[in-house]
């Protein structure tokens, strides 16, 4: 646990310690997320928390001292990034069972039910990040419309590098806050650290926007997926088949399908469609109002005009002709 004083106004860390279950549930609920908690032995409860606010994120070092089963149900407007400092916790999310260990990260997404079992040996460093912060970063920094829910897929971080870098970043942030609390309380400084955390997660932990993020050069996928992407980008045939792609890359259809699903979160066919829509949207934004939607579609390799007009409206919320007239995002 962090050891900075609780009531010193010069300190940026809030410390909390209690063995009262009701008080603990209330405090953790306000700090991370409202939840239910089952305890193996309430008499051994000895919760210790240390919290650092880095707008718009919250970093919480937490341990309970006894077996606890935490059930927040479905998160509302925040993501929780779970990292284990000590011990291994069991986690149930999205109908599957996993673990939170010192060598991995687990991200809980809004709308997805989760249940966590922490043993007396477990100590977590949990980061709460507002959903709006991710959406703002996607829109303003990555120029990607946040027009569907952001979901992180558990267990799909980029190898072992991300958990190591993530912990080192948090340790650095905690250390700097302890040495210079007044300096680190600067809002712009805090926003820069928060943006770095968001960038690391969006670009290196597979999520529902990974396919679009990959279009902008942040690709964590293996070589055969990258090669297939290159072929798709160079092709003007929107009916390219998965079999053709697999043959050109030199892998089986199953390997290609699994690679796209695991690292981009969608099938090769869906990726082709998304790529064509991205090209069309950029072309519409850059064209003059007098340009033809049909001609722009052909330039983007789209020949099924009616179907892609429907796809476009589903993704951007308006028709291609409306974007062309307005020359601004829908």
Q: How many residues does the chain have?
A: 330
Q: What does pLDDT average to over the chain?
A: 85
pLDDT of residue 175: 92
The domain spans of the chain are 13-207, 221-326
**C-beta pairs of 307-310 under 8 Å, 24+ apart in sequence:** 308/238, 308/273, 308/276, 308/277, 308/280
Structural contact between residues 44 and 15, judged by C-beta atoms closer than 8 angstroms: no
pLDDT: which is higher, 198 or 11: 198
pLDDT of residue 247: 93
pLDDT of residue 6: 40
Q: What is the mean pLDDT of residues 235-248?
A: 82
CATH architecture of 13-207: Sandwich (2.60)
Convert the pLDDT of each residue in 65-95 to its tens digit. 999 999 987 777 899 999 999 999 999 987 7
**C-beta pairs of 35-40 under 8 Å, 24+ apart in sequence:** 35/70, 35/71, 35/72, 35/73, 36/70, 36/71, 36/72, 36/73, 37/68, 37/69, 37/70, 37/71, 38/68, 38/69, 38/71, 39/66, 39/67, 39/68, 39/69, 40/66, 40/67, 40/68
Residue 9 has pLDDT above 50, yes or no: no
Tell which residue, 263, 82, 108, 51, has the closest CA to residue 163.
Answer: 82
Q: Do 13-207 and 221-326 have matching folds?
A: no
pLDDT: which is higher, 291 or 116: 116
pLDDT of residue 173: 93
The yes/no answer on whether domain 221-326 falls in CATH 1.10.10.10 is: no
Residue 147 has pLDDT above 90, yes or no: no
Convert the pLDDT of each residue in 18-61 to its tens digit. 999 999 999 998 888 889 999 988 888 999 999 998 878 999 99
- Cα gap 176→170, rounded to integer Å: 10
As given in the structure block, the two tokens for residue 237 are 């045939």
Strands (E), 34-180: 36-39, 47-54, 57-63, 68-74, 78-86, 89-93, 96-100, 105-108, 113-118, 123-130, 152-157
Residue 166 has pLDDT above 70, yes or no: yes
Residue 156 contacts by C-beta under 8 Å, 6 or more apart in sequence? 205, 206, 262, 263
Angle, helices 223-234 vs 268-286, to 10°: value is 40
Convert the pLDDT of each residue in 152-164 to its tens digit. 988 777 667 899 9
pLDDT: which is higher, 251 or 5: 251
Residue 8 has pLDDT above 60, yes or no: no
Convert the pLDDT of each residue in 197-210 to its tens digit. 999 999 999 888 88
């Amino acid at each position: 646990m962090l050891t900075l004083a609780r009531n010193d106004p010069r300190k940026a860390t809030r410390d909390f310690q209690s063995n009262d279950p009701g008080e603990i549930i209330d405090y953790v609920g306000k700090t991370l997320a409202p939840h239910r908690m089952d305890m193996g032995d309430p008499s051994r409860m000895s919760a210790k928390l240390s919290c650092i606010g880095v707008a718009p994120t919250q970093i919480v070092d937490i341990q309970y001292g006894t077996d606890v089963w935490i059930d927040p149900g479905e998160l509302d407007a925040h993501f929780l990034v779970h990292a284990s400092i000590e011990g291994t916790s069991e986690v149930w999310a999205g109908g599957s069972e996993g673990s939170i260990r010192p060598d991995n990260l687990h991200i809980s997404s809004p709308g997805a039910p989760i249940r966590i079992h922490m043993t007396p040996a477990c100590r977590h460093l949990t980061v709460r990040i507002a959903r709006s912060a991710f959406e703002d970063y996607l829109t303003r920094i990555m120029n990607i419309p946040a027009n569907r829910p952001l979901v992180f897929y558990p267990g799909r971080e980029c190898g072992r590098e991300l958990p190591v870098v993530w912990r080192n970043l948090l340790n650095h942030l905690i250390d700097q806050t302890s040495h210079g609390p007044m300096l680190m309380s600067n809002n712009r400084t805090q926003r820069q650290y928060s943006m770095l955390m968001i960038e690391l997660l969006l670009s290196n932990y597979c999520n529902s926007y990974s396919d679009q993020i990959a279009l902008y050069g942040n690709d964590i996928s293996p070589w055969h997926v990258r090669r297939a992407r290159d072929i798709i980008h160079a092709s003007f045939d929107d009916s390219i088949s998965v079999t053709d792609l697999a043959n050109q890359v030199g892998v089986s259809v199953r390997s290609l399908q699994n690679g796209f699903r695991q690292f981009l979160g969608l099938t090769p066919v869906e990726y082709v469609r998304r790529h064509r829509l991205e090209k069309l949207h950029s072309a519409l934004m850059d064209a003059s109002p007098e340009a033809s939607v049909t001609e722009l579609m052909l330039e983007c390799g789209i020949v099924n005009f009616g179907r892609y007009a429907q796809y476009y409206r589903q993704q951007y919320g308006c028709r291609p002709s409306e974007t062309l007239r307005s020359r601004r995002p829908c």
